[in-house]
Structure formats: structure tokens, C-alpha cells
Chains A and B, each alone.
Chain A
């Protein structure tokens, strides 16, 4: 029992994932700043942000709406993100092999933060938040199907293994899945799904600052907003790590290979950062058709190719 609590709270769960994710989000912000001729934040800025919200800022509750759901949503989001980080990172660090079918559990756990944001924003009773919430909901509906297709493609490529550990070991025995046509296609689709899950440009319409004033999160302040920040840090580690496990043969933690693992993770984050810095925000309608038509099409083609062994 104690060891599970350790997994959940310390390594690779809450504390480890949040700290690593915070550094990754710093990396994202620093690269963004350098691309835009700016200096960028100091290394510890994510922690300053978090502790300022947690300890200094006052928590204000909206007068209208439901305070219980409003406050419960960030907690649920944090739990979902932490659980998914544990299930993703345990097989990646070769600590525990997981169980058959954990890919689908991870898939469901990864959707919990997004659904919590929707619930929290609709509970706040703010018209701007309700627009943000409805956009987030449409976005979830459009990219979840695509993300599931990516996982299906990976399952197909790893000869019907339903757990992350076997997927990784299958790649480590032979070669990473990205080294094939279907693997490349799946990687492209997965990167866009992750971009949407993280709410980065071009899929940041749920919190579009210049349109609806941070939309879904407009009423959050103080401790609940600190939890949302923490959730975002954890997701910033969990999703790129999941992608590394699915298609880039995971981590190998022997000697110099640790550096290689870090490079893979930062490489994925760098790709996400560059996408978000070279695109304007899409409209929600465009995002829905982007995933529903084009990304689904590419994912299906990849699955068919994977079936024939390409």
C-alpha cells in the first residue's frame, strides 16, 4: 500500500511529474521567447507562478453558479493528470510492467482534466467561461476519436499488445515504430492531438485571451488556479512522455542512454513549441473539421498501412 502511495505522491507521480513538467514548460516558454526576440523567464519562473497563486493570491468564488463543482473541478483534473502520469511513467522507467489494457485506462485518465475544465467553467456562471467551456467540449469531441485511432494504430503495430510496457519492449527489441511510414503518420497525428490536449496555439480557442479573456479559466484565482497550473505542468510531462513510449521506443536508463531519453522528451516539446509559434489560432469550426476529417483520415490510412506491415 505504502509503495502505491509513494508512486502516486512522489515518484513518478505528483511531485516528480510536476517538477519535471514545470521545467519542460519553462523550456517551452524560453524557446518561445527566443523565437520572438525576447529574453524569456528565469529557470524557476513556473515555481514562482505556482507558489504565488497558492500562497499569496486570494481565492475568489463567483457569486452565481455552483461553488462545489467549481472548486471540485481542479481537484479532479489534478487527480486525473497525476494518475495518468503514474501509469505512463511506471512502464517508461521500467519500474512496473502495468497490466493488460492499461493503454485504454491511460486514454481515459488523460481526458479527465479536459472534462474537469469544462465542468468547472460551466459551473462558474460567467458567459465568457461558458463560451470557453463549450469550445473545449467541441474540441474534446473532435480530437478524442483521433487520439484513440493513434493508440489503435500503435496496438496494431505492436502485434495486438494492449499494455504500454509491451509496446515499449516490442520497440526496444526491434526498432522504434516511427521508423516506418505508418509510424511517421501516427506521430504527426499524435503531435496535433497533444497540441490540442495541452491547449496550445493553434488549438487554444478554449482560453483565447484576445477573444474571450482566458475563457474557461476566467473565474479561477488563488488555490484552485494553482491546482490548474499544476495539472498543466503534469500534462506537459505526461503527454510527451506518452508519445515517447508509444512511438519513440521509450526510455533506456543505462549510462549515456539517459541523455538520449532526455533529448527525445525535449525534442517532442520543442516540436510542440515550434508549432505553437508558427501558427495563428484556428476557429473552433476549423479545428473540428481538421481533426474529424483530415487527422482521422491520416490515422486510418496509417492503421491500414500498419496492417500490411509498412
Chain B
């Protein structure tokens, strides 16, 4: 009988950006069993939420995840609006969908880059992140922030996408589409990437159903679930788009689904921008006086899968109970199926293929020079710097 030994991935490891621990029980190069521990990042957000007002909770749930920072406010808005029985305006719907889809593009690009890095293909890593930059600039132009956009509120959005913005946004998207063609071609046609990812970490249709996996992980195994289609919200019923699926269920299929979804997202954004032209400018919120007693559930399709928020209201100005389920919670359980029996090399890319997100953020208050101890920037000055850049970006595109 051979002796098993333990290969730890984590709590801090170059494979994952966030603290978590995977224990691979290996027999030589072959992974025989896997166990994982999460919870290094617990911040008690559900409890915190009970002590905040509904308007404040948006900023709180936005900070659950730095990458999909719109999907949580999206789901929370859906939940609260269900309690209050608010019907939002069409312009709000379009704006919400535009932000949601831009976020999907930047999140998928981020994953493609990281997957390249995990395969030792750092050129893809750097190129994907370079091409992601215009999308973040777009966010900064529209919302004022590269991340954590603070766009959502009960019954509407905080900022309008004015009609004069539509043209520069379309231009940036067109430029991006060309670069995305290049990147997609480079990834999909590379024989060595095929050799590394095809047939690796396969999840069958039944595995997906057994483990209740969601998002691109499920769609890559031929299970066409997508909250945007199954439980329509925002502007998704108003535009034409299709759910991308693949049949193979391996790492390559997951990459393929994500790369093709970016094209769908671009098409949704373009249609939403056209829709914006028809609506009256500034018609971006419905007045909500109070949240009545009741239970509301909200779902949103985050880049990683379904985000679910359940809000209990007792009629006061803050939630009585707020339950959140993030997509990675169900996706990481599939590692039992995808990693066991693989080699270590295959297991690591299989771990990364579901794009696990352990919900982390960091904040910066002040920067000190380590030599002299002199304070270089305080928070207010940093925000000032950021605002300067935003206005520079807007001026460049002739917006004021």
C-alpha cells in the first residue's frame, strides 16, 4: 500500500488570491482525496446588515466581493423592491443591466488572465488584464469608480447614464471588441492550451445537478441555467440575447463559455444603450417612502453564478434578517468530483476553473513613507487624486 501525503494549497498560496486551504491528499502526483477549509475571511456581513438602514446596506453588500461588486446590490435591490412592491422605470432597468454586463465582461477577463497565470502562461495574464483596463475606465467614466460603483438604491439608481455618454461608451466598446477577438483567438486556437485544459476537471451534467453548481460552471456542462433568463429581472427580458452553453464540462469548456459570454454581454449593453435613447433623461428613480413588513427574495446572475438575497422586513428602516448566498458557495463543492483522480497540475487548474471567490476586500486609510514615517497621502487626498483622474477621463471623451 502506498503512502499518501498532503499537499497544502493555502492558506496563502500563489494559486489563489484569497486565503483558503485546500488539502490535496496525494499518492505521487495523483490526487486521491481533497478537503477544504474556508472561513478565513468571515466578516459578519449578514449581522452587520441588520444594524444598517436600507440605503446603507447597498454600500455594505457591495463590499462582499471586490470583483462582482454589482451583483450583490443587484440582488438586494430585487429583494427589497419585492417587499415594497416597487415597479422601477425602464431607464433604471437599462442602466442596471449595463452596469451588470460591464461587470461580467471585466470579471470574465480577469478570470481568463488568472487562468493563464495558473497555467504558467503569463503573457495571457498580462494581456487580458491590459484589455480589461478600458472596461474599468468605462466604469470610472459612468459611475466615478473603477470598482464598487455605488450605483444602486431602492427604486432606482444613483447616477444617470446621460444620452451624450452613449457615443463615447459605444466607441470604447467597439475598440474593446477588436481586442477581445484577438484574445479569444489566442486562447481558443492554442494547441498547448488545448493539451492542458481539454478533458481536465470534467464535471458531468449529473454532477452539476447533484452539487447544485451554478453559473458558467454549470453552463459549461450543458446545464443551461441562467437567472437572467429563468427569473427575468432588470432589462434582460427587453433585449435579445442567448444563454451560452458547452457540453464537455472540462476546463476548456468553462473558458469557452466565459469568452463567448463576453460577446453576449457586449450585445446586451449595445441594445440597452439603444433603449436608453428612447427613455426620458433623468427618469431614474421611483420614490419609495417606506418598506412594509414582509419577506423578499432577490436573485441576480453574477459573473460566477446565481446570487441569492433574502430580506426579512419588520417595517422599520433596517432589515430584520438578511440572508446571502454567493455562487462560489455551491460551486466549490464540485471539487470533490473534478479534482480526485487528477494529477496535481490538473487539480490546480480545476480548482481555479470555477473562478472561486472567497469574498474579500481591503481598504486603505493612509500611506506612510517607511523611511521617514512621513504621511504621504491621507484618505481624503487619495479620493481627491481619484476624482481628478475621473474628470480627466471624462474630459478626454468630451463629457464636460
Contact = CB atoms under 8 A, between A and B. Distances in A.
Contact of A213 (B13, B122, B190): B13
Contacts of B346: 283
Interface in B313-360: 343-346, 348
B116 interface: yes
A80 B125 CA distance: 35
A205 B193 contact: no
Contacts of B196: 280-283
Q: Nearest 8 CB-CB pairs, A to B? A: A281-B120, A36-B126, A280-B119, A280-B121, A210-B118, A283-B345, A211-B348, A277-B123
B166 interface: no
Interface stretch (A14-22, A98-106, A126-134): A126-134
Nearest to A32: B122
B334 to A, nearest CB: 20
Residue of B121, B124, B346 most packed against chain A (CB within 10 A) = B121
B117 A37 contact: no
Given A210-B348, A283-B346, 12 more contacts: A36-B123, A131-B26, A134-B29, A135-B29, A208-B345, A210-B118, A210-B119, A210-B120, A278-B123, A280-B121, A281-B119, A282-B192
Interface string A100-137: 00000000000000000000000000011011001100
Contacts of B343: 283-285
A279 interface: yes
Contact of A210 (B5, B14, B124, B190): B14
Contacts of A128: 7
B15 interface: yes
A277 B117 CA distance: 11
7 contacts: A36-B126, A127-B26, A130-B5, A208-B120, A280-B121, A280-B192, A284-B343
A43 to B, nearest CB: 21
Nearest to A135: B29
Interface in A259-294: 277-286
Nearest to A200: B120
A280 B7 contact: no
B130 A37 contact: yes
A25 B127 CA distance: 22
Main secondary structure of the interface of B (DSSP, over half): helix
B344 A211 contact: yes
Contacts of B239: none
B126 A201 contact: no
B364 interface: no
B29 A131 contact: yes
Interface residues of B, number: 32
Nearest to A209: B14
A37 B15 CA distance: 22
A281 B344 contact: no
A201 B120 contact: yes
B28 interface: yes
Given A210-B348, A213-B13, A131 B121 contact: no
Contacts of B15: 210-211
Given A35-B123, A201-B121, A213-B14, A279 B345 contact: no
A38 interface: yes
B266 to A, nearest CB: 22
Interface in B148-207: 190, 192-193, 195-196
B367 interface: no
A153 interface: no
Residue of A130, A135, A210 most packed against chain B (CB within 10 A) = A210
Contacts of B345: 205, 208, 211, 281, 283-284
A202 interface: yes
Given A37-B126, A134-B28, A213-B14, A127 B7 contact: yes
Interface in A130-150: 130-131, 134-135
A125 to B, nearest CB: 11
B121 A281 contact: yes
B122 A36 contact: yes
Contacts of A281: 119-121, 196, 345
A280 B120 contact: yes
A211 B121 CA distance: 13
Interface in A9-55: 32, 35-38
Contacts of B127: 36-37
B399 interface: no
Contact of B344 (A38, A202, A204, A212): A212
B6 interface: yes
A134 B29 CA distance: 9
A280 B348 contact: no
A208 B195 CA distance: 17
Residue of B28, B118, B124, B344 most packed against chain A (CB within 10 A) = B344
Contacts of A205: 345
Nearest to A38: B126
A218 to B, nearest CB: 11
Interface string A194-231: 00000001101100111111000000000000000000
Given A202-B192, A213-B14, A286-B195, A131 B120 contact: no
